[in-house]
Structure 1
Amino acid sequence: MIKYMRLEWRKLDRLNVWIELSIYFIIMMFLPTFFINVVLPEYGQSFTQAIELNSYIQMGIVLFGGSLINHVFIEQYKNKTMALSFGYPISRKTLFAAKIMFIAAAVFAASIISFILSGLSTYVINLFAPFIEGPLSTADVIQYAGTMLTRSLLITVISFVPLFLFGIWKRAVVPTIVCSIGSMQLPNFSSFLHVHPETVVAVLAVLGAVSLTASIATAEKLGEV
């Protein structure tokens, strides 16, 4: 399985992927500071609240997952390399599982790195130009570590929401990206739906898991070129 995951990495235009990731990381590093100073100053009342805000900001990595679905599935269908992949000595279900695991590993790693970079940058900026009230405690650090791990797992699963319908069945780039944007933004508009944002995140995670399951279960049928 690891061999096929590495093969998926070699198929990508790696320079463009690194450039895309760098853009995400740079934006995420400064978004918490921007939002607390300009948009939502109430989240600067404590590090606990700043951590909560950052957990929703990091949902932006879901868009990276949508981009990978485009590269790993849609583009390979369109440029006929998917047909070559079907010649591997493994079942299509296993092939799809390898592709999905590759995307999941990349999104999870990107989310962890983004959390670390944004946390460090927010802390350093706050040292020189304080905008978060109170000191950073050990409890805050532990909370941040726990939030980083759990949210990164949720982000990884949510990033697969468009996989089955738009990535494998319809093989449509624009709807895939639009669905990813909607998934990452929906928790921010939960107040208009009169539901708690974490409820929205949980529903999106369930949808992502269903999309994953359907993608592998129907690989033999919908995997046709």
Structure 2
Amino acid sequence: MKVLLKLIQLEIRKNKLLGLLKGVVIANLAILAFMILVTYIDTSENGGEFKTYADMFEGVYIFTKAAFIIFASVVLSKLVIDEYKNNTITLLFMYPISRKKLMTAKIIIVFLFTVVSIFVSDILLNAILVGINSFTHVIPGSLDLNSIPSELIRISTDAVYAAGIGLIPLFIGMRKKSVPATIVTAVLVVSLISSGFGNFRMGNQVGVSLALALVGAGIAYLSIRNIEQKDIA
């Protein structure tokens, strides 16, 4: 475990992943601006896009999930796909470190990045929007404080599902050794889970989210399992 934690720290430093925080902030600002537009500015006689707090929370989650699943593909590309594409992974594998541990560290970074980004962004954006609504009163009624614990549990669970889904592009990325292919796959996955009609969304179905998350976990496992024997050329 100590070796794995050390590898995670080294990967974060080597790839300067803390610099991605700027991208996270920009993504959150873009989502916030869009939510303010459709909730508090783009109103009509029938009100804005969201009629209840539950609708608004759902809207925030849809956008944060989509944004950070795509963001996860960018991190995957930086940590894994680029290494294979540029053949720098060969140098890493020459060190007296287990290939499995090295790849596991990379996957853990992507998974935790996605979970934390979605969880924190959801809470922060919802809190800001609720605060704005306390002055504008565009969304009628008051927030039921008793619903907050269950909402936090839902956000946590959905963030884990989304992080698993975010690993699916690894399959195409590893086969093609292509950064664009990895990111395009993420966009297609987001399009799939965001598709639907009315209030129905594929990604809102627990069974669908769980199944796709397990697919992502399976892809990550297979990517790690045979790494010791896999030809990296």
TM-score range, shorter chain: 0.7 to 0.9
Who is 2:212 aligned against?
204
Q: Does residue 1:83 correspond to 2:86, yes or no?
A: no
Who is 1:213 aligned against?
221
One of 56, 80, 105 as aligned partner of 1:73: 80
One of 181, 187, 195 as aligned partner of 1:175: 181
Q: Distance in 2 between matches of 1:175 and 1:5?
A: 25
One of 42, 58, 70 as aligned partner of 2:64: 58
Asked if 1 retains the 8 angstrom alpha-carbon contact of 2:195 and 2:201, the reply is no
How far off its partner does 1:203 sit?
3.5
Asked if 2 retains the 8 angstrom alpha-carbon contact of 1:187 and 1:197, the reply is yes
Who is 2:13 aligned against?
10
How far off its partner does 1:41 sit?
6.2
Who is 1:187 aligned against?
193
After superposition, give the CA deviation of every residue in 1:149-207 in whole Å (9 maximum; x if it has no partner): 111111111110111222x2211111111111122232221339x87543343342232
How far off its partner does 1:19 sit?
2.4
Q: TM-score, normalised by structure 1?
A: 0.86
- Alignment RMSD: 2.6
Asked if 1 retains the 8 angstrom alpha-carbon contact of 2:194 and 2:202, the reply is no
Letter in 2 for 1:181: V
Asked if 2 retains the 8 angstrom alpha-carbon contact of 1:47 and 1:136, the reply is yes
Who is 1:98 aligned against?
105
Q: Distance in 2 between matches of 1:31 and 1:149?
A: 23
**Would the alpha carbon gap of residues 140 and 30 (structure 1) be closer, same or farther in structure 2, given more than 3 Å must change?**
farther
Q: Distance in 1 between matches of 2:73 and 2:169?
A: 7
How far off its partner does 1:42 sit?
7.3
Q: Which ranges of structure 1 fall in alignment gaps of 5 or more residues?
A: none
Name whichever of 69-78 and 211-220 sits farther off.
211-220
Who is 1:142 aligned against?
149
After superposition, give the CA deviation of every residue in 1:19-46 in whole Å (9 maximum; x if it has no partner): 2222112123334333445499676322
Who is 2:27 aligned against?
24
Q: Distance in 2 between matches of 1:3 and 1:120?
A: 35
Runs of 4 or more, structure 1, over 3 Å off, are: 13-16, 30-43, 194-197
Asked if 1 retains the 8 angstrom alpha-carbon contact of 2:38 and 2:48, the reply is no
Letter in 1 for 2:107: I
Count of residues in correspondence between the two structures: 223
Q: Which ranges of structure 2 fall in alignment gaps of 5 or more residues?
A: none
Which structure dedicates a bigger proportion of its chain to helix?
1
Q: Distance in 1 between matches of 2:12 and 2:119?
A: 19
